[in-house]
Structure 1
Amino acid sequence: MSATFALPIPAAAGSLEQYIQTVNSVPMLSQEEETELATRLHQHNDLDAARRLVMSHLRVVVSVARGYSGYGLQQADLIQEGNIGLMKAVKRFEPQRGVRLFSFAIHWIKAEIHEFILRNWRLVRVATTKPQRKLFFNLRSMKSGFAALSDKEARQIAEDLGVKPEEVREMETRMSGQDVALMADDNDDEGGYAPIDWLADAENEPTRQIEKKAFDRLQREGLEHALSTLDARSRRIVESRWLADDGGLTLHDLAAEYGVSAERIRQIEAKALQKMKQALVVA
């Protein structure tokens, strides 16, 4: 049995309201029924028993996911991640310990949703240590209102959660920021602008263009100087082999043109390139 066995459960990706109505219509199990189904699952690998355990607790996932609606993520995605946590909980559930599946599954559901939020929230990693994660998921509820935290409030929260006051401030800043689309909406007015309109193109920046033109000019002048040091045959070979727009001539083409062997053309070419290299160094 895999870590999260595949079960035919409803998907939350379609109509969310219809999904919630469906899972709420599934009756909860009694403690005796949970024990019987869990025993069948673990002793006989009964996937139908696993399905019934999961189905009867999908409403729990919906309830937990609603508590994380303030992070800018789709509710359906939070529910789907919570369902993965529920399936992990069902796999590990041991009713003989005297704990109901509802209580046992809460930890796994929240853990999976937490990981999903941390991976996706604003596409940045906002919490890397355990205290920072605790700060991330508790700061909203610990604030007394929508106003910015006072120094006293920040210090108190930091003390309660075992982090530094500046970490509280940083997290508050990140969580209070608003997501802004990089591209403008197609329905925006013609006079509207988006952040992409102010992003500079480094390649088209005026000083970069001037530098590029100067560099290209120096390259052309340097190449012309190096070519001028060659005799007519050597220059013809180099230009035909390396500077022709149509792909240039082969050694054999040039050998036929000058009535020598291809190896002789290669030797002339190598000597010419070496002479040009020396000319460029001197220049």
Structure 2
Amino acid sequence: MSKVTKTDQAQKSAEKGYENPLVAVSDEENLPALSNPALHRYLQEISQYELLTREETDELAIRFREEGDQDAAYRLVSSNLRLVVKVAMDFQKYWMQNFMDLIQEGNVGLVQATKKFDPYRGVKFSYYAAYWIRAYVLKFIMDNWRLVKIGTTQAQRKLFFSLNKERKLLEAQGFQAEPKLLAERLNVKEKEVIEMGQRMDNWDVSLESPVRSDSDDEQKNFLPSNGPGIESTVAGKEIKVKLAELLDILKDRLNDKERMILEKRLLTDEPLTLQNIADKFAISRERVRQIEVNLLKKMKKYLEAEMPDIVDYFDGEKIVIHSDR
């Protein structure tokens, strides 16, 4: 369809009060269809669907809501496919890969709008549908802008869409678009503006990609490690082996009650309760607790004598004893 034809159709649609007249697009707006044959064919196909007046739209919406008329829903959706294209055009600068992706997501939003539209509220269907179309298109861009999502909340998505627009507006007015000023204008925290700006300005890098084109080293080889170093790991293993040997020796110096408390309560992931041990030896729960306290003191004195470095190893560690069970 030529632009002259589009313009004529748009004027006629406006005169008849159609909900969503086809808007003519000038060369300056750079519609992606000019270089996308598939999109060009799609625009030709959807231009064949008849536009609806406000009254026709409300009548179809009532039929679908009250009677579940699928034909009415089909006409509502098909007659507003051009609205999806129009809304998607506002987002094309954020998605330079395939404009049809945006149209596809916008069509899903249009279907959702048709399902949820209430014709008795007095709101024009095209206004209501544009909200849903915009929401689905924006969510698609946010989910696919990077391999790692850069906006997972509604506030982040709003900031993503508004940040560049506000930045350009400030620069056009002669202001320097500092994060603090942007945060004040957008009513968000300065930290959020900085983080979103960094996410938008930097592209994803594969961990397997080389550091330089002439290097065999990969990016992941230079990632900082938050875990313990190799020296600490080796030292920790040696201490645990030595500690196990000392505890084996200590067991031979304990009586039956102390040995059971050590093995079945202090050195196991599924400790017995005080009452369990009390029942086995026919003594009170309080007596078992007293034996446990004395045993811990004996263990501490023994380990400090045999292994002085044990205090440095456990420095800052919180040892949990199941004394409440």
When the two structures are superposed, what TM-score results if normalisation uses the length of structure 1? Answer: 0.56
Q: Distance in 1 between matches of 2:215 and 2:135?
A: 45
- Against the structure 1 CA distance between its residues 102 and 194, is the aligned structure 2 distance closer, same or farther, given a 3 Å change threshold? farther
Q: Which residue of 2 aligns with 1:55?
A: 78
Where does residue 186 of structure 2 map in the other structure? Answer: 161
Match of 1:46 among 47, 51, 69: 69
1:113 pairs, out of 115, 120, 137, with 137
Matches for 1:161-200 after TM superposition, within 5 Å: 161-163=186-188, 167-184=192-209, 191-200=215-224
The letter for the 2-side match of 1:44 is E
What is the distance in 1 between the residues matched to 2:201 and 2:41?
33
Query: What are the ranges of 5 or more consecutive residues in structure 2 without an aligned counterpart?
Result: 1-35, 265-279, 282-291, 303-325
Over 3 Å counting, the alpha-carbon distance change for 1:167 and 1:200 in structure 2 is closer
Change in 2 beyond 3 A, CA 1:55/1:30: closer
1:31 and 2:52 correspond: yes
Q: Does 1:229 align with 2:249?
A: no
Q: Distance in 1 between matches of 2:79 and 2:44?
A: 9
Hey, what's the Cα distance between the residues in 1 that align with 2:226 and 2:129? Answer: 52
In structure 2, the CA distance between the partners of 1:110 and 1:228, relative to structure 1 (3 Å rule), is same
Aligned partners of 2:151 and 2:157 also within 8 Å: no
> Once the two structures are aligned, what percentage of the paired residues are identical?
29
Q: Deviations over 1:18-68 (max 9, x none)?
A: 587447513233224534533431332111221232233334334433543
Matches within 5 A, 1:211-250: 211-229=235-253
State the distance in 1 between where 2:52 and 2:139 align: 30
Secondary structure of the residue that 1:153 maps to in structure 2? coil
In structure 2, the CA distance between the partners of 1:76 and 1:183, relative to structure 1 (3 Å rule), is farther
Letter of the 2:78 counterpart: M
**Any idea what SS the aligned residue of 1:179 has?**
coil
Q: Could you tell me which residue of structure 1 aligns to residue 287 of structure 2?
A: none
Q: Residues 44-99 of structure 1: CA distance to partner in whole angstroms, max 9, x if unpaired? A: 21112212322333343344335435269986664444333212322316399483
Q: Given the two structures, how large is their TM-score scaled by the length of structure 2?
A: 0.50
1:123 maps to which of 149, 152, 156: 149
Alpha carbons of structure 1 residues 197 and 151: separation in structure 2 relative to 1, 3 Å? farther
The alpha carbon displacement at 1:277 in A equals 7.4
Give the length in aligned residue pairs: 227
Q: Which structure has more RCO (C-alpha within 8 Å, separation ≥ 6)?
A: 1
Alpha carbons 1:20, 1:59 under 8 Å: kept: no
State how far apart, in whole Å, the 2-side matches of 1:214 and 1:74 are.
58
CA distance in 2, matches of 1:161, 1:85: 26
Distance 1:84 1:20, change over 3 A: farther
Distance 1:135 1:220, change over 3 A: closer
Q: 1:190 to 1:161 in 2, by over 3 A?
A: closer
Change (3 A) 1:138 1:24: farther
